[in-house]
Amino acid sequence: MRSSFAKSIYVGAAVLGLAGLSAVTTTTASAKSYATAGSYTALTKGQNVLVNGTNAIYSKPGTVKGAKVVASKKTVAKLAASKKSNDTFYAYGTKTTNRGSVYYKIVTMDKKYRGYIYGGKTAGTFAGGIKTTDTLTTAAMPANKTVYFANPGTKNVTWSAPKYTDINATKSVMNTTPFASDALTITSAATKTKEGSLYYYVKDAAHPTVSGWIYSGAVSATKSDAAKAANGLTFNYVEKSTGKAISSSVTEFAKGDTQTAETSLKAAGFAWHLPAGYSLVSDTDTAATFGNSADKDYLFKKGDSVTVYVKANQSALLQMNKVVLNSNMTTEATPYLKFPSEVLAKINADTFFTQPSGIVAEASDINTHLKSAGADEFVVSTGKTDSTGKTVAYKFTLATADTVKGTFDSKNAKASAATLYYTATKGYTTTTTSTSAFTPAN
């Protein structure tokens, strides 16, 4: 039994020995399966590159022990298909393994992904999972090479290179507002290779540090309102009777840094941009007109805002829509739109009625005003003659005041569009200007 026991111990020890030897052998073999990488070498000149989706990106050369995935092949494939310049890569360093594989250290233009990717077997060439690229493509120059900042401010400023086309691209200026009036000269044009968006390189002769690349949509052939406002006056037109803001306009100074109200605004060529249908409250009272100072020698300086008080033109206070009651013309035409074209042209013409003088504030005043203006009754000749040789005409007479339709604002002395009803009588005339020459038809 002792012999048997001893034998079993020996055999067991032998088995354990073989197992231990096997473990050592496996560890040694596994260690030999990893590659080793040489020292990091920075590229003398960085290179813009694109990934092709065949290789993942690692924290260190992928075959070296401890390498972790930074971007999987699936993620890299999406980056390869991207049409955004921020997904372009920049290669700036390299490591070569003991197996002769070259790995490049790369980073996206937006700094989101950074790591090593296989780049082939020859240092200095870009193969494997990457290829070189030009981030900009030369474009045709525009016909007009003198432009201005379209929207001065902190957005769409000038850059040393279009954003995400160069890893070292920086803004030439943080805010273009102070340079809103500067004339810019386009000297180069290019499109982003991925997006196809157009950029210009502009030179600012007045302020050279502002020169740089800018998106083409951020420049304009004319100065912006902001630029004009900075070099002149902003006119805010306000209706005097209601205090309602009507519109605004900007006018640059014609000359000098400061101008007086009268000499600059009236005599020195400042362009007035009064709202359509409005006129100045006063042409002589500076305080009432400009709302700044009773002193007519008030000095305006660049960047000032001026309140201009205006009033609605009387001709715009009443819009008359003309409708004819055809009770006695049922056999001739219904409604008046069926009249001969030469009659229609006169009835529908905007200048046919003389606008009433003064302000029509109440419906009951309509007849009085129209009569004084000669629009309560009028004759229109058709220009056609009947079998007797008489010229056919129509006399239109305004109906009574209670048939007038419209909304009137007596408080503000204004009237909205009013519908005026006329009755029509067929007859004959030898003139179109005198109702006395009108003879009703039998």
Q: Return the percentage of the chain with pLDDT > 90, whole number.
A: 42
Locate all alpha helices (DSSP H) within 50-125, ordered by sequence.
73-81
Residue 335: is the preceding peptide bond cis (ω within 30°)? yes
The pLDDT tens digits of the residues spanning 292-337 come to: 444 444 566 777 777 777 777 654 334 444 444 443 333 333 332 2
Is residue 72 within 8 Å of 92, Cβ to Cβ?
Answer: no
Domain coordinates in residue numbering, the chain: 41-132, 137-225, 231-312, 316-440
Report the pLDDT value the prediction gives residue 254, as an integer from 0 to 100: 59
Topology at the third CATH level for domain 137-225: SH3 type barrels. (2.30.30)
Task: Classify residue 64 by its DSSP letter.
Answer: B
Check residue 253 and give its pLDDT.
67
**Residue 295 pLDDT:** 44
**pLDDT given for residue 314 in this prediction:** 52
Name the stretches of the chain with pLDDT < 70.
1-32, 253-272, 282-300, 313-376, 378, 380, 382, 398-424, 430-436, 442
The SS3 assignment for 187 reads strand
User: Are the C-beta atoms of 207 and 185 separated by less than 8 Å?
Assistant: no
Residue 191 in contact with residue 198, Cβ under 8 Å? Answer: yes
CA 112 and chain centroid, separation: 31
Tell me what pLDDT residue 437 has: 75
- Model confidence pLDDT, tens digit, residues 149-175: 999 999 999 999 999 999 999 999 999
56-66 pLDDT tens trace: 999 999 999 99
Task: Give the Cα separation of 346 and 174 in Å (integer).
Answer: 62
Planar angle of CA 213, 81, 66, nearest 5 degrees: 100
List the structure tokens of 30: 């596994």
Are 320 and 420 within 8 A, CB to CB? yes
The CA-to-CA distance between both ends of the chain, in Å, stands at: 157
| Measured distance CA(363)–CA(408) in Å, rounded | 7
